[in-house]
Each structure stands twice: as structure tokens, then as C-alpha cells.
Amino acid sequence: FVVRAFQGNTVLGSLVTHLIRLAPPVTASAGAEPLRIGVTVPLTARATLDDSGRPALDTDAAARLEHTIDAVPSQPGVPVAVLPSAEALQLLTSGPRPTGPAAIEDLRAASTRTVLAVPFAPIDTGAWTAAGLDGQMNDQYTAGGETLSALLQDEPDGRIAVLDRTVTADSLARLLQLGAQSVVVPSGHLSPMRDRNASFAELCTLDAGLDVGPPAVVADDPSSARLRPGGDPVLAGHLA
């Protein structure tokens, strides 16, 4: 719980206090857990163009990406899936910082982490599908998978698709054709839930107007927003 002290509309200070719920011994021994969470960590950086017109990472972008990569193997007990940018990781290996290749080695060593399949570079899947660019979209996912396999020495998992706000019903159908079996969907991308007892922690079926809706879990947008860079990272983690 977050406790804040106010004077008028001014926050004088805040602190975080914890309430930890433990399962009864019998339930815990049976393997049941009252609450489970999973964290999907984006590993990406904004590429710019160098003097020759080729994509590149500047020093600050490369440093931020390395810092995020460093956090992935540091907490082996936390369930983490990695959502990498194949382009950004490739650029990091030849970027402006000599520590870039070592960061990729550290990520490769975190073999217990699930690496999710992605296109080589971010694309607007809805617009590409609407424009009939299915073949080019396939090429993007093929290039992304091959790049990640080469860098991390591991095949990315294409069975789970993390949807963004560009995804439409048609592009979702295309992602399912590419091998996705379940999806992670942002909470802000959903219509209000009819069932007031529904929980984001539960597996559900995504109703997107398809013949068969894929199994889905919901990513909580407010929690994700609290984990973005800026401010006190420790407090942000507690608030999330």
C-alpha cells in the first residue's frame, strides 16, 4: 500500500508498506498459489540513421538497452519473458559502446528466459495486413527469428504473440497463421468486461470476431506505465 502525506494539494512525502498474502500450509503443499504474475521485458531501442544513412544506435540508446539487458539475468527467481527487438540487438553488437557484445553474451547465458518471436523491426501489423503486405510481413518475422537465433543461440518462441495497438482482427488472424497459439493483449485495447468478477490474472478467450478466439492473458496498462523509465525505479516497482 502507498501512504502519502499531503499539505493541501502538495505531497509532503510517501512510503510503501506491504501486505503479503500466503497460502495456508495445506494449499501451498498441494502446489496452489493465490497469486501469480508474469513480466514481459521489452528489449528495444530507437534506431537513428548514421552519416551513411544506415540504422544505428547512439551512445545513450545503447547504454539504456544494455542496462535493461543486465536486469534480465539478475533475478533468476522472477518469471520473465523477453520481448526483444531483433534490429536493436543486432545494432548493439556493432554499436558505439564496446560493452555491447558482452551484453548480448549475458542475455544468451540467461537460458531459462523465454524469448518471444518478433518481426525484425517494429511494424504496424494492422496497416500491413490491410495493404495486402502479407508476404512482406512473413519476411519480417522470418528475419526477426533468424537474427535472434543467431545472436542468442536459441529459437524464439512464436507460440505467444504480444499484441500492440496496431493489431486488428485481420492482422490477428495473420499472426495465428504464422504460428501464434495464444496472445497477450493490452488492457486498454479491450472493450469493458461484462463480468465484474473477471480478473486480469485469469486466462480468457479473446473475442475478436474470428471463428475461434485465441487464449489470451491481459497486460495491465497502468502497471506497465509505472515501470517506464523516469523517477524512482524502486518506488515504481512497488507501485506496479
What confidence tens digit (pLDDT) does each residue in 28-44 have?
555 555 555 677 889 99
Question: Does residue 238 have a pLDDT over 90?
Answer: no
- CA nearest to 84, candidates 139, 142, 136, 162: 162
Say which residue, 214 or 225, is predicted with more confidence: 214
| pTM (2 d.p.) | 0.75
Q: How far apart are CA 75 and CA 185, in angstroms?
A: 25
| pLDDT tens digit sequence for 115-152 | 999 999 989 999 999 999 999 999 999 999 999 999 99
Distance CA 213, CA 205 (A): 6
Q: Which is nearest to 57 in space by CA: 67, 44, 70, 69?
A: 44
Average pLDDT, the chain: 83
Task: Tell me the per-residue pLDDT of 148-206, one tens digit each, with 9 for 90 and over.
Answer: 999 998 899 999 999 888 898 899 999 999 999 999 888 888 777 666 555 555 678 88
Compute the distance between CA of residue 180 and CA of residue 232 in angstroms, rounded to an integer: 36
